[in-house]
Structure 1
């Protein structure tokens, strides 16, 4: 009876999981298939998921219409630099909060975590004022610097460093290692899975960021990819075929980065705790 109950429960849970997966996959699949349709077929009635006459001409036109290389370069530069600075800043802050026993650090950590309850729109106005006063308006540095510190990254590193034994750090100090060497040569390599996870999230956040680059940048040559896609939408009409194809092209680099970093995360998790 127990085995029958367990088998029924597993079947129901599996069926529910399949339904949830289909709910997520179906819109993405329709989105990809629509990018292969000619413009005249997008809104033909009745609507069809698969294209009747699949074509890659939309991709050719989108690549020739938009200067993807320039927008890719701007977006990749800002996302990469922001991710690198975010990882280093979050790791150093997390190490200090986890291993330095200071009351004011605990209070400061609570203040940082409390910022997660604030909507991003609340701090946009004062942040933009600082960017304008410091001369970072209409520069890529203006979208990079405000995005470096994240409470999520600091919390992730602090939680991981708390699990590292203090005796390991004390042994390193007895051998003459400074706090900088302990952080760079011991703590940061141990936190490699956290580094990879935060790198994926940070790169994704910065790649898909739209509102902040739209506010800070007004030079089309400095637009990021998401802001450039907005220029496809005209005041009177929208070229849906071009917009769909450009959106598909924009997610390909992000998908590639995720696949590569996911492999490193799995390898790091599989070998953690093992001797070299």
Structure 2
């Protein structure tokens, strides 16, 4: 009897999980099916689930109406610069607050974390003025520079570094290591899960960013893929199959990044305290 109850519970659990997984995947499945339809089929009421004839040309139409090549390069370059810069800045700040002892450490950390409560839209005007003064409008560095600092990134790495034993620092100091050596050779290698989690989250924020690229870059060849997708939504009408095809192609890189780093991502989130 206990074994039968246990099996029933496992069956029920798996059924519930499969239903939840299907519910989560269903929007992407509908997006894919819509990308293969005609415009009339995509707007039909009641809606049609399967296309009458598969139209792969919607994907080629997306490349015809949007400069995908240049926009993809801009998105990738901005993502790489933003991720590298944020990992460097956030890891240094988190190391200082989590592992070093100095006066006013608490108030300074509070000032960092207060930024989490401020809507990012409030920083748009001062950030734009800084970029304009530096003469970086319509450039890749304009896309990446504001995102290189993140109070959220500092918080994630700070929470993770606090879990590391203080004996590691003491042992390294006994061996003659200075703070820089401890940071590079001891702390950073142990923070790989948190760094992977921050890499994925920062990549998502950078890849999906729409407001800031619209403000600083006005030349089509200097825009990013989300901006290109936004141009497909016309005031008079929208070609939904082409839009869905472009959206599907745009999210594939981020899906690949998550698949490659999912184990480190889950471990980093669990150990950084964000699960609460």
Equivalent residue number for residue 90 of structure 1 = 90
- 1:144-174 deviations in whole A, cap 9, x for unaligned? 1111111221111111211222221122122
Shift in CA distance, 153/28, structure 1 to aligned 2, threshold 3 Å: same
- Supply the distance in 1 between the matched residues of 2:54 and 2:35 (Cα, whole angstroms): 9
State TM-score, norm by structure 2: 0.87
> Following TM superposition, by how much is the alpha carbon of 1:232 offset from its aligned partner in structure 2, in angstroms?
1.8
- Supply the distance in 2 between the matched residues of 1:10 and 1:117 (Cα, whole angstroms): 42
Equivalent residue number for residue 254 of structure 2 = 254
The reply on whether 1:106 has 2:106 as its aligned counterpart is: yes
> Following TM superposition, by how much is the alpha carbon of 1:24 offset from its aligned partner in structure 2, in angstroms?
2.5
- Supply the distance in 2 between the matched residues of 1:55 and 1:180 (Cα, whole angstroms): 57
Shift in CA distance, 11/116, structure 1 to aligned 2, threshold 3 Å: farther
Equivalent residue number for residue 66 of structure 2 = 66
Equivalent residue number for residue 219 of structure 1 = 219
- Supply the distance in 1 between the matched residues of 2:238 and 2:115 (Cα, whole angstroms): 38
Give the conservation status (yes or no) of the 8 Å contact 2:82–2:147. yes
Equivalent residue number for residue 201 of structure 1 = 201
Equivalent residue number for residue 139 of structure 2 = 139
Equivalent residue number for residue 149 of structure 1 = 149
Shift in CA distance, 263/19, structure 1 to aligned 2, threshold 3 Å: closer
2:104 partner SS? helix
Structure 1: stretches of 5+ with no match in the other structure: 270-276
Shift in CA distance, 200/268, structure 1 to aligned 2, threshold 3 Å: closer
> Following TM superposition, by how much is the alpha carbon of 1:244 offset from its aligned partner in structure 2, in angstroms?
1.3
> Following TM superposition, by how much is the alpha carbon of 1:4 offset from its aligned partner in structure 2, in angstroms?
8.9
2:51 partner SS? coil
What does 1:1-276 align with in structure 2 at a 5 Å threshold? 17-262=17-262
Shift in CA distance, 264/158, structure 1 to aligned 2, threshold 3 Å: closer
> Following TM superposition, by how much is the alpha carbon of 1:2 offset from its aligned partner in structure 2, in angstroms?
8.9
- Supply the distance in 1 between the matched residues of 2:101 and 2:268 (Cα, whole angstroms): 30
Structure 2: stretches of 5+ with no match in the other structure: 270-276
2:52 partner SS? coil
- 1:171-208 deviations in whole A, cap 9, x for unaligned? 21222222111111111000011111111110111000
State TM-score, norm by structure 1: 0.87
Give the conservation status (yes or no) of the 8 Å contact 2:97–2:105. yes
Shift in CA distance, 18/132, structure 1 to aligned 2, threshold 3 Å: same
- Supply the distance in 2 between the matched residues of 1:13 and 1:149 (Cα, whole angstroms): 42
- Supply the distance in 2 between the matched residues of 1:236 and 1:6 (Cα, whole angstroms): 58
